[in-house]
Amino acid sequence: MKKITIITFLCWFAFICPAAAQTKSIQNFEVPVLTPFPAAVADVSSPIVSLNGSWDFDIKEQTQKAKKIEVPGEWEMQGYSVKEGQTALYTKKLAIPANWKGNQIKIRFDAVSSHALVKVNGKTVGEHEGSFVPFEVDITKQLTYKEDILEVEVQALTVSDRLACTSQYACHTVGGLLRKVTLFAVAPIYIAEANNNTVFDASYNNASLTITNAVTSTLSASEEAYFQFTLFDATGKVVAKKTSAVKKITANTTADIETVLVIKSPKHWDPEHPYLYKLQTELFVNNNKKQTNEQKVGFRQIVIKGNQFFVNGKAIKLHGVNRHSVHPLTGRSISPTLDRTDAELFKAANCNYIRTSHYPPSEEFLNAADELGLFVESEASLTWIQHHASPIWKLWSYTDEKFLPFMVRANMDNVLAGRNHPSIIIWSLGNESKWSPLWEKVNKIVKEMDPSRPTSFHDQCWGGFNNAGSKADVANYHYPGINGPKATDTMSRPTLFGEYAHLSTYNRRELLSDPGVRSAYNEPLVQFYDSIYKHKGNLGGAIWSGIDDIFHMPDGRIVGYGPWGPLDAWRRPKPEYYGMKKAYSPIRITNVNWGTIAKGFVELSVENRFDFTSLKEIKIEVKANGGSKLISSVIPARGEGIIRVPLDKKTTGFYISFTNSNGTIVDEEQYENKILTKLEDRKVALSFSESESAITVKQGEVSYLINKVTGIVTNITKNNQTLATQGPVFCFVPMNDEDGGKPNVAGETYQNNIYPVKNYPLYTLFATDLTVKQTEKGIAVDMKTAYIDVKGKQSYLFTSDGKLETTYEVEYGETDQSPYQYGMLMQLPKHFDQLSWKRKGEFTIYPENDIARIEGTTMLNAKHINGVEEPGVAPTGDWKDDANDLGSNDFRSTKRHIESAQLQDKTGNAIKVLSDGTQASRSWLQDEQIQWLISDYSNAGSEPFYGTPHSNGRIKTKNKRLKGKLTITIN
């Protein structure tokens, strides 16, 4: 506590003491200066120099020789340990270009975690508290232009880290220069601030672009300054040009110059049409051009009316994810390439919205969001203030005014960094915290800094938990059930589900055992988003979360929250990624009418869920009978209608795709007009024999050995080759939400030493009333079964067409358990390592590398690893091919709604299950045998953080009779 108190005092002092005469303030809080980068400066060859790369690194309290470290980067992810209270020292020699002399020289740090003291040639030039936001220092007066030395003293785990739970959340100390460092020069009179705002007329036809620039003079005499503004469209054509008024800038002061450009019929910026103009700003001093800046501009205006949120006059629906900056090997410091990759991947999955949990994004990510078309809710780096997940609030008071400067600065820095990006539409004040008078002040300051955007605050806007009556513009609720969307219509503000539809995460042992739990996420997500879409008061939602939060520490540990994203931490799509794309699809085909095929077309009932796009802008392609054709539709945005697909009268199936103007297929479907085909008749000889201990049934070349004591089939052979060593036997797989982790306060328990769960058949004590007889249908074996605590009955029917039909009933009485799955389990030799299946999909088409694809073949490919994944090793294949001791993700995952499934060995011997789409197949390696469960009941898994509709269908066994049927053939 003593160390934290000292840092608090120092940083508070830095916040309230003005650094220069030209600084502005809002409600007595100094507004930081963040000088925009220049594109050109008079008489300077290149005004920007990157300081990224290798720096000297030392720990002041240690005596070891200085080593090298990469910037940007986390020190702990590079093998350095800096304890709380210790100071890391970054050092770099500066080579200032000679032609920069006479100008102002600055350094911008895009993110330092969490406290930075910057020195040049031993003299302090600036200080900053807070992570994930840019700040700058002016080093002009300290330079010698010879052997200039830059030093950055960094401490982690300071008060801003505590207020943001930065290191707690990442399960390791997040310290270092996390984002780029840039050295740059500006003219002696320079553009110190640039703020652009667009406003449309009432018809959203013409617009005004208001440009507010602050000009700072470091000269000792007054000068006259003005701006020349030129607006270019995306092709480089000039669409507007204007010269500002001339203003006298007195010595060592800052003055604002405001100019308004009126633009006729500009193209709008929205996620579906992310049109960007380029604004060129030229600063003239005494009629001499001194500096040129360039800024992308998107014409976009936000209005809230009642409980609806409008962009450019259109009500919007946000559908997206929460996104952390994360990579397994670099931690919270990621590359610009990865920033853009994330934006591209989420855009391709039909997301139109990213919440930057729980800190502001990088400049590179915002640039990508502007260009690709993503709405962004930019969140200040403040988390769990007066929340049970952060234990520090058992010692601190969330209403203590000493925390206000940190809360204000975190939000000011967020606004300054992002306010010229059209993608940002909401400022989030903080995450899952309790509203207080301090937040009220923060909200007012943010709204004064940027009146053009609404604010949000991530609490609970109804109910008794964490609901203290927040007053942000956008209401928030985390983790609603399926009735949540309807409740939003009763709210006076737009209501955002800032976190919803939590991916299965904390049931970690269950997930390692059966990756098919991930595929079970998708159908409930479609149901949930359908409800969000239909309720006007529901602004939308962000799935929790977007990317697995996993860190591979250099010492071999794996830490974090774990695999909670549709993308894994290496950016490979997982099964939930495609489910998200389908749930968020802007095209929803609600009915296919094959009844019109005789007229030469099929009618599709279609919803256009785009907010801004008519289907006349969408390429619609149909493929059938070996050919393809383009068709069209004029269904407007948010409209419904009929699309006629011209087809030959004899067509039994067709493929249709919808492609946007960027060439992305936003949705596709494969439809079949199924005609039932009769299975080929097959006749085999049947016989049986009995001994004192067993029954042997012969079915053609296949022999079944049944133990008379237990009633279990203990061996299946064909031509003296063993096909199965046990089964079918009733198997009950209990729900399992074990996280496999260590003691914690907020679930941040992911670690390498988590292992799958073994599942076995229900232990059969004995069978009674066992009979075997020849019937018209075949050889029937009937029995009553006794298990530990429960009882039941089971029957085998061996038919002359080569089938074995097993039926069962199990009565649970007072025994009360929660199954994840139950059904019949068989055990096969390990060499039956090829699985193939055909099933009824939740969707009509899947990617070829999706474990839930409708048809597929895969191999066991089991691999021994010591835990959840290999530390420090980047995978090279698809996610479906990752494997553990139980087999690959593809092999060991549940395949739901099967019509058939088959296990086969290399010689062609196979056991095939025949079904009707109501059962599921799951196979895995255990105890050197292939276990194969055909379940009559499966739910979506045991994730405890996601309720309805994901939890729908869960049952208890008390006084229940569980029953089902298994049909197999031997090939």
- Strand intervals (E) in 788-882: 791-799, 803-811, 819-829, 834-839, 855-859
727 pLDDT band (50/70/90 cuts)? confident
Indicate the SS3 state at residue 815: coil
CA 332 to chain centroid, in Å, comes to 15
Predicted confidence (pLDDT) at residue 680 exceeds the cutoff of 70:
no
CA dihedral 64, 70, 74, 77 (to 10 degrees): -80
Q: State the distance between the two ends of the chain, measured CA to CA, in whole angstroms.
A: 72
Domain boundary among 616, 642, 672: 672
Indicate the SS3 state at residue 785: strand
370 HSE (CA, 13 A, CB side): 21
Predicted confidence (pLDDT) at residue 679 exceeds the cutoff of 80:
no
pLDDT of residue 675: 62
Q: How many domains does the chain have?
A: 4
3-state helix vs strand vs coil in the chain, percent to 5: 15, 40, 45
Residue 202 lies in a domain: no
Segment among 16-30, 122-136, 322-336, 654-668 with least mean pLDDT: 16-30
pLDDT of residue 14: 41
Domain enclosing residue 630, as ranges: 587-672
Is 540 in the same domain as 623?
A: no
Instruction: Kindly state the average pLDDT of the residues 411-420.
Output: 98
Is 306 in the same domain as 177?
A: no
Residue 198: which of 297, 275, 265, 280 has the closest Cα? 297
Is 139 in the same domain as 112?
A: yes
pLDDT of residue 22: 58
Residues 685, 85: Cα–Cα separation, whole Å: 82
Predicted confidence (pLDDT) at residue 297 exceeds the cutoff of 50:
yes
Assign residue 829 a region (left: φ > 0; alpha: ψ between -120 and 50; beta: otherwise). Answer: beta
- 210-247 in b/e form (b: 16+ CB < 10 A) is ebebbbbbbeeeebebbbbbbbbeeeeeebbeeebeee
Residue 316 lies in a domain: yes
Give the CATH number for residue 790. 2.70.98.10
Backbone angles phi, psi at 619, to 5 degrees: -80, 120
Is 514 in the same domain as 650?
A: no
pLDDT of residue 20: 43
Give the CATH number for residue 306. 3.20.20.80
Residue 549: which of 570, 563, 536 has the closest Cα? 563
Domain boundary among 154, 186, 218: 186
pLDDT in tens, 768-778: 999 999 999 99
Is 754 in the same domain as 617?
A: no
| Cα–Cα distance list, 516 to 502, 520, 887, 904 (Å) | 16, 7, 13, 21
Residues 512, 357: Cα–Cα separation, whole Å: 26
Indicate the SS3 state at residue 410: helix
Is 481 in the same domain as 597?
A: no
Residue 209 lies in a domain: no
866 pLDDT band (50/70/90 cuts)? confident
Give the CATH number for residue 625. 2.60.40.10
Backbone angles phi, psi at 779, to 5 degrees: -90, 125
CA dihedral 114, 120, 126, 127 (to 10 degrees): 20
User: Are the C-beta atoms of 852 and 842 separated by less than 8 Å?
Assistant: yes
pLDDT in tens, 244-280: 999 999 999 999 999 999 999 999 999 999 999 999 9
Q: Maximum CA pair distance of the chain? A: 114
Residues 406, 11: Cα–Cα separation, whole Å: 8
Point out which residues pair with 199 in neighbouring strands. Answer: 208
* Stated pTM of the model: 0.95
Is 616 in the same domain as 749?
A: no
Tell me the pLDDT of the chain averaged across its residues.
95
Instruction: Kindly state the average pLDDT of the residues 61-80.
Output: 93
Domain boundary among 153, 186, 219: 186
Predicted confidence (pLDDT) at residue 879 exceeds the cutoff of 90:
yes
Is 650 in the same domain as 772?
A: no
Contacts of 699 (CB under 8 A, 6+ apart): 684, 685, 686, 798, 802, 804, 970
Is 849 in the same domain as 702?
A: yes
18 pLDDT band (50/70/90 cuts)? very low
| Cα–Cα distance list, 933 to 517, 788, 827, 862 (Å) | 15, 20, 9, 18
Q: Which amino acid is at 926?
A: Q
Contacts of 776 (CB under 8 A, 6+ apart): none
pLDDT of residue 722: 97
19 pLDDT band (50/70/90 cuts)? very low
Point out which residues pair with 217 in neighbouring strands. Answer: 189
pLDDT in tens, 535-551: 999 999 999 999 999 99
Residues 370, 189: Cα–Cα separation, whole Å: 30
Instruction: Kindly state the average pLDDT of the residues 174-201.
Output: 98
- The two three-digit tokens of residue 485, written as one number: 């969307």
Residue 111 lies in a domain: yes
pLDDT in tens, 561-600: 999 999 999 999 999 999 999 999 999 999 999 999 999 9
Is 630 in the same domain as 771?
A: no
Instruction: Kindly state the average pLDDT of the residues 176-180.
Output: 99
pLDDT of residue 844: 98
Residue 70 lies in a domain: yes
User: Are the C-beta atoms of 596 and 602 separated by less than 8 Å?
Assistant: yes
Residue 961 lies in a domain: yes
Is 657 in the same domain as 696?
A: no
Q: Which amino acid is at 736?
A: N
pLDDT of residue 741: 81
User: Could you tell me what percent of the chain has a pLDDT over 70?
Assistant: 97
Predicted confidence (pLDDT) at residue 13 exceeds the cutoff of 50:
no
Segment among 134-148, 581-595, 749-763 with least mean pLDDT: 749-763
Is 57 in the same domain as 133?
A: yes
Residue 252 lies in a domain: no
Residues 288, 226: Cα–Cα separation, whole Å: 10
Residue 423 lies in a domain: yes
Residues 182, 92: Cα–Cα separation, whole Å: 12
pLDDT of residue 582: 99
